[in-house]
Amino acid sequence: MANDQPPRPSRRGFLKAGGAAVAAGASLGAGLAPQAALAKAPAHLADPQLAVEPFYGLHQAGIVTPQQSHTYVAALDLTTDKRDEVIALLRTWTEAAARLTQGGTAAALPTGDAGDSKPAPDSGDVLGLGPNGLTITFGFGPGLFTKDGKDRYGLAARRPAALVDLPRFNGDQLIPEKTGGDIYIQACANDQQVAFHAVRQLTRLAYGTAAMRWGQSGFLSGPRGQTPRNLMGFKDGTNNPSTAKPELMKEFVWAGATADAPWMEGGTYTVVRRIRITIEHWDNMELGFQEQVFGRHKYSGAPIGRQNEFDAVDLKEEDKDGNPVIPENSHVRLSNQASNDGAQILRRSYSYNDGTNFYIERWPPWRQETEYDAGLIFVAHQSDPRKGFIPINDRLAKFDMMNQFTTHVGSAIFAVPPGAKPGSYIGAGLFET
Amino acid sequence: MANDQPPRPSRRGFLKAGGAAVAAGASLGAGLAPQAALAKAPAHLADPQLAVEPFYGLHQAGIVTPQQSHTYVAALDLTTDKRDEVIALLRTWTEAAARLTQGGTAAALPTGDAGDSKPAPDSGDVLGLGPNGLTITFGFGPGLFTKDGKDRYGLAARRPAALVDLPRFNGDQLIPEKTGGDIYIQACANDQQVAFHAVRQLTRLAYGTAAMRWGQSGFLSGPRGQTPRNLMGFKDGTNNPSTAKPELMKEFVWAGATADAPWMEGGTYTVVRRIRITIEHWDNMELGFQEQVFGRHKYSGAPIGRQNEFDAVDLKEEDKDGNPVIPENSHVRLSNQASNDGAQILRRSYSYNDGTNFYIERWPPWRQETEYDAGLIFVAHQSDPRKGFIPINDRLAKFDMMNQFTTHVGSAIFAVPPGAKPGSYIGAGLFET
């Protein structure tokens, strides 16, 4: 980094104050401000590294929060058979997450010789960095409720019907060690190391109770004020329901108080898919064909035949020969609300880039070669996946022209409970009501 | 990204101008300003996304350039047997790199129907993003000179003696598909997608002439104006020779005009090592032990027993019992100039984070489990690796306490030629003098 810029307020302050500043910082996040209101507030300060997002609230942060530039998403498997240990873990995590999101360390750092003789409670690799708008979001996978037919924690009867096991979709090529998980942790921040740091500390706090199943780093490079482009070069997220409209969030994103899972009120259901993109192949496609695949123009983001990104998608429009202007098998048509009985989901995806691997090519001329291991960490939040991701992806998996260039290699679904009140913990409603 | 921030000057302008603006932009980088002078200039504008680094110059950029926040490093293997095709590739790359670093696309984008019927010359995924201080650095591996005993391009006699094949170091566990390569491309930028975009376009331009061998994304999260911390939580780079001192750069970084390779004058030799860190293991070590391993205090970065990061490292200092204050097998002692006959190298490393993989643990209790695939992309520039990386790493590989926590899994060495003059190309001195 440059050496000619002034220092700035930092996590270092918390070190010097021996943790006292953390308590003060945490109060920034106290209270039960609805996330909908947060979404309307200025999302990033002038300096995104100094941005702070509240941790406590009616909803968990990181769902309707304006998307930060980086993420680290992870799923852990519970290794304990004791309900109390799961509760203790959620309490520990809640407190640590409140500290971390407000710019603190996972726990107060010991000082002097006393600290030398034991592992530090924080890896220290983001000391000096700002809070960077960090949000930490927790979710519960099917395995928390029943696993291998066993009701490990007395929660089987409380599993929401909406937390379905995802069906196998056409073309799925799921890798077990990138799929599933009992607990979801999603850390998003305006800095890559800050996002990873959060999951790293939380995972360490789970030692002996839960173990990492998969973790993945992601990023999003968007021009400010514009819809970001994914690695295919197209704008991604244009047609998302607006987080500024609480009525849309209520209908499509937030779970209601269903009879089977009243504890999920104010939560959401999150689907994560690791989608590898055959970038080399895609880059050699004609521009016009790429646009037919998406159903949008590449540079403007406008629906085909239109000028502006936010022009309405008219699925009924035909050209002079009577053919649809937006192709039948285009991504935009198949995923559109009008093609899916009005269903909408809130996508909050990130690109991933894990360098290269040596692969056997899956398209002619079937060469063996080094290829990019890159693509999309698709993340979608919804009030009920049975009306959201599942029917939409079922249609896409069968018909989307884009499937020539994408492979779903990881998959998971989680019930993301509502936010916590200060003094309580994430998931308290599940265990204690 | 937030939707409440003003738009900014962007790559989009180049699109509208049909490439004309690129030519104007490229002239920003014209002339032969020595990199030493660049290093003294303000490294980043107020907005790092708008920063522009010159491409043309006496030296290539990306060596003494203040370190940007992200990198994508790659090595390609030449697949042609024609010298002219290698030269043509270097010409194409030079022109594309000049455009990309100045905020342009790899080539002018076609407009209208004419463009629809062929692949676009640029993937378009960073349209709207700024230049982000992008630098692109090219290097030549041993395989350009001879491969499998064959002098493919009539260059065998011009191979510099300093471009040695690296010896096998103690503990090396090199993976062939992460090791070696005929050509090196190092893209560094203040944005992850911009860095990857550059390598992606250049690799595509090499289609049929060179193919990707390995590629790797890296990042560096440093508090502004401070030495960044690596994933072990320690400051990394404190003892680097100062890029602000041309005499140090001349001695330790820039290659001179040796009799065997006069064309390398103003170039450098670059070693890249992929070093996996066993983060889970490291995090469970006592803080005091971690500091013994490094020979520095973790939070301040000061040498053990000192207060401030930049306090001199005194290898002779002893405690009251006559034991060395800086431990015998500490990283700082073994890598110090005084332990290596005065040798210094310019480290310009990045962290990498490729999520998790399912591994068999290499330390007790030998469990099988999901572990982080993360660590350091070590990059070091030097005037002669026989006096730089090789003796230093030989000592480290044998004695460094840190080896308990690190594994070198990838390795490569390259001769990085001097910069190009406008109108010429990177490597012209090798092929044409």
Query: Which two three-digit tokens encode residue B25?
Result: 């932009």
Taking the CA of residue B219 and the nearest CA in chain A, the distance in Å comes to 8
| Among chain A residues, CA nearest to B234 | A125
Region of poorest pLDDT, from A9-23, A85-99, B151-165: A9-23
- What pLDDT is stored for residue B368 in this prediction? 80
Cβ contact, residue pair B204, A280, below 8 Å: yes
| Among chain A residues, CA nearest to B14 | A299
Residue A366: pLDDT band (50, 70, 90) is confident
Among B162, B218, B209, smallest CA distance to B183 is for: B209
Residue A30 pLDDT exceeds 90: no
Taking the CA of residue A27 and the nearest CA in chain B, the distance in Å comes to 24
Cβ contact, residue pair B69, A1, below 8 Å: yes
Q: Tell me which chain A residues have a C-beta less than 8 angstroms from the C-beta of B358.
A: 177
Helix (H, G, I), strand (E, B) or coil at B76: strand
Give me the phi and psi of A247, to 5 degrees please: -70, -35
Q: Which is higher by pLDDT, A288 or B5? A: A288
Label the pairing between strands A368-382 and A350-360. antiparallel
Q: Which is higher by pLDDT, B394 or A21? A: B394
Cβ contact, residue pair B283, A223, below 8 Å: no
- What pLDDT is stored for residue A2 in this prediction? 37
Facing residue for B225 by CB, picked from A5, A116, A291: A5
Q: In Å, what is the CA distance from B29 to each residue of B6, B57, B102, B159, B420?
A: 28, 8, 8, 30, 11
Q: Tell me which chain B residues have a C-beta less than 8 angstroms from the C-beta of A5.
A: 44, 224-225
Alpha helices by DSSP H, listed for A232-286, are: 246-252, 279-283
- What pLDDT is stored for residue A5 in this prediction? 39
**Choosing among B182, B202, B221, which should be mutated to test the A contact, i.e. which has the most A CBs within 10 A?**
B221
pLDDT tens per residue across span A107-158: 988 776 667 788 888 999 999 999 999 999 999 999 999 999 999 999 999 9
Cβ contact, residue pair A370, B5, below 8 Å: no
pLDDT tens per residue across span A171-223: 999 999 999 999 999 999 999 999 999 999 999 999 999 999 999 999 999 88
Taking the CA of residue A87 and the nearest CA in chain B, the distance in Å comes to 23
- What pLDDT is stored for residue B239 in this prediction? 87
Kindly state the DSSP code that residue A80 receives in the 8-state scheme.
Answer: -
Q: Tell me which chain A residues have a C-beta less than 8 angstroms from the C-beta of B286.
A: 116-119
Q: In Å, what is the CA distance from A296 to each residue of A310, B184, B237?
A: 11, 36, 47
Q: Tell me which chain A residues have a C-beta less than 8 angstroms from the C-beta of B196.
A: 353, 374
Residues 6+ apart with CB under 8 A from B415: B139, B140, B141, B160, B162, B163, B255, B261, B264, B267, B269
Q: What average pLDDT score do residues A16-25 get?
A: 34
**Choosing among A70, A287, A359, A377, which should be mutated to test the B contact, i.e. which has the most B CBs within 10 A?**
A287
- What pLDDT is stored for residue A10 in this prediction? 44
Cβ contact, residue pair A356, B214, below 8 Å: yes
Q: Tell me which chain A residues have a C-beta less than 8 angstroms from the C-beta of B220.
A: 1
Cβ contact, residue pair B127, A233, below 8 Å: yes
Q: Which residues of chain B are modeled with pLDDT < 50?
A: 1-45
Taking the CA of residue B433 and the nearest CA in chain A, the distance in Å comes to 34
Query: Do A162 and A258 form a contact (C-beta atoms < 8 A)?
Result: yes
Cβ contact, residue pair B219, A193, below 8 Å: yes
| Among chain A residues, CA nearest to B292 | A116
Taking the CA of residue B235 and the nearest CA in chain A, the distance in Å comes to 8
Q: Tell me which chain A residues have a C-beta less than 8 angstroms from the C-beta of B193.
A: 219, 221, 231, 351
Q: Look up residue A78 and give its amino acid.
A: L
Kindly state the DSSP code that residue B350 receives in the 8-state scheme.
Answer: E
| Among chain B residues, CA nearest to A377 | B355
Q: Tell me which chain B residues have a C-beta less than 8 angstroms from the C-beta of A113.
A: 288
Helix (H, G, I), strand (E, B) or coil at A81: coil
| Among chain B residues, CA nearest to A227 | B1
Taking the CA of residue A260 and the nearest CA in chain B, the distance in Å comes to 34
Q: What average pLDDT score do residues A351-374 get?
A: 84
Taking the CA of residue A248 and the nearest CA in chain B, the distance in Å comes to 18
B46: exposed, middle or buried (C-beta count within 10 Å: 0-12, 13-18, 19+)?
exposed
Taking the CA of residue B259 and the nearest CA in chain A, the distance in Å comes to 36
- What pLDDT is stored for residue A381 in this prediction? 98
Helix (H, G, I), strand (E, B) or coil at A291: helix
* Cα(A42)–Cα(A58) distance, integer angstroms: 19
pLDDT tens per residue across span B376-403: 999 999 999 999 999 999 999 999 999 9
Cβ contact, residue pair A286, B117, below 8 Å: yes
Q: Tell me which chain B residues have a C-beta less than 8 angstroms from the C-beta of A360.
A: none
| Among chain A residues, CA nearest to B237 | A1
Cβ contact, residue pair A213, B67, below 8 Å: no
Cβ contact, residue pair A212, B177, below 8 Å: no
| Among chain B residues, CA nearest to A176 | B358
Cβ contact, residue pair A353, B217, below 8 Å: yes
Label the pairing between strands A346-347 and A268-277. unpaired
Q: Tell me which chain A residues have a C-beta less than 8 angstroms from the C-beta of B124.
A: 229, 233-234, 298-299
Cβ contact, residue pair A1, B215, below 8 Å: no
Q: What average pLDDT score do residues A277-298 get?
A: 95
Query: Which two three-digit tokens encode residue B54?
Result: 């010159």
Helices A192-205 and A83-101: crossing angle, nearest 10°?
150
Cβ contact, residue pair B116, A287, below 8 Å: yes
Residue A361: pLDDT band (50, 70, 90) is low
Taking the CA of residue B318 and the nearest CA in chain A, the distance in Å comes to 19
- What pLDDT is stored for residue A3 in this prediction? 39
Kindly state the DSSP code that residue B277 receives in the 8-state scheme.
Answer: E
Cis peptide before B9 (omega within 30 of 0): no
Q: How many DSSP H helices and E strands does chain B contain?
A: 12, 9
Alpha helices by DSSP H, listed for A41-173, are: 83-101, 112-116, 142-145
Facing residue for A355 by CB, picked from B3, B223, B354: B354
* Cα(A281)–Cα(A361) distance, integer angstroms: 10
Query: Do A22 and A104 form a contact (C-beta atoms < 8 A)?
Result: yes
Cβ contact, residue pair A299, B44, below 8 Å: no
Query: Which two three-digit tokens encode residue A91?
Result: 């309490």
Chain A and chain B share a number of CB contacts under 8 A equal to 267
Facing residue for B116 by CB, picked from A8, A42, A286: A286
| Among chain A residues, CA nearest to B125 | A233
- What pLDDT is stored for residue B363 in this prediction? 66
For chain B, what's the residue count?
433
Facing residue for A196 by CB, picked from B194, B200, B353: B353
Among B121, B288, B383, B8, smallest CA distance to A287 is for: B121
Partners of B346 in beta bridges: B381
- What pLDDT is stored for residue A224 in this prediction? 77
Mean pLDDT for chain A overall: 88
Cβ contact, residue pair A226, B42, below 8 Å: no
Taking the CA of residue B258 and the nearest CA in chain A, the distance in Å comes to 33
Q: Which is higher by pLDDT, A100 or A32? A: A100
**Choosing among B193, B199, B236, which should be mutated to test the A contact, i.e. which has the most A CBs within 10 A?**
B193
Taking the CA of residue B248 and the nearest CA in chain A, the distance in Å comes to 18
Its pTM stands at 0.89
Facing residue for A217 by CB, picked from B214, B280, B353: B353
Facing residue for B225 by CB, picked from A6, A125, A226: A6
* Cα(A370)–Cα(A376) distance, integer angstroms: 19
- What pLDDT is stored for residue A239 in this prediction? 87
* Cα(B396)–Cα(B390) distance, integer angstroms: 10
* Cα(B227)–Cα(B215) distance, integer angstroms: 26
Facing residue for B372 by CB, picked from A215, A356, A371: A215
